[in-house]
Amino acid sequence: MSVSYEENAAVNGLQSLVNDKELLNAAGVESLSTILHDICVQDVRYWCRENIDIEIPIPANAGTLVGGSCRGEVFPITPDFACAVKVICAEEQLQPDCKGIDISLGLQITLIPPDPCSCPVMVINHYANFKCTQFRPFPTGSPIYGNALREALRIIDGSCVVVQDLCCEILNGQCSRVRVTGELIDKLWKHENLWVLAARPYDGVTVSQEFPEPHMIGECITCPNNTST
């Protein structure tokens, strides 16, 4: 069986690393077979970053009556309420023309009054949609989009979404709203067979398990009249 130039270069590169005695000693390994592994993994090829910055109307009020009013008016929720936000679902799908990825994200916002005895805690489930139509090769490279992205998607097997730095605040004013900010990163991956340098610290049996529902973040099932674009 012949070996390509690229395969020879890869082997030589790995060999030069594992022959570095100082590196081996620092890692506490004794031989090439200890740190060289052949694995099948999801290899990220392209990534996209989108900012999350949405304003969501608060559909109810704090429950405290306006003084002097006989109409039953109540004060709106104010910024002295504590606000928390978490992801409750996420899903992705290819656009019909294969020039982008449509992303649906479910958020749960919890509003906690300063005095829970006078006003109840409020929970808002909100669903927002995002699009990634421009991706960068990983780890570096110029952005691709349009037909170039459609061509790149020919080899892509799936994707994953990272949501980070989520925070929320209550905006004061005539109409009470919650502002949610953060960052969304979409990663396109391909099933790949890779050689990696890694030390195996334990010799026992390793069992991996993904936590099932309801802990699992799964597909979005939106409520009627509760969607956002």
- The pLDDT tens digits of the residues spanning 141-159 come to 899 999 999 999 999 999 9
Whether 179 maps to a domain, the answer reads: yes
Domain count, the chain: 1
> pLDDT tens digits, residue range 95-140?
999 999 999 999 999 988 877 666 678 889 999 999 999 999 998 8
Alpha-carbon distance of 8 to 13, in angstroms, equals 8
Owning domain of residue 132: 44-191
SS3 155: helix
Q: Tell me the average pLDDT across 81-95.
A: 92
1 lies in some domain: no
What's the CA dihedral at 160, 166, 170, 173 to 10 degrees? -60
* Domain annotation covers residue 68: yes
Query: Does residue 35 fall inside a structural domain?
Result: no
Asked, for residue 140, whether it belongs to a domain, the answer is yes
In a domain, 196, yes or no: no
Looking at residue 27, what is its pLDDT? 55
Global pTM?
0.73
For residue 78, tell me if it sits in a domain: yes
In a domain, 226, yes or no: no
Tell me which of 55 and 172 has the higher pLDDT.
55
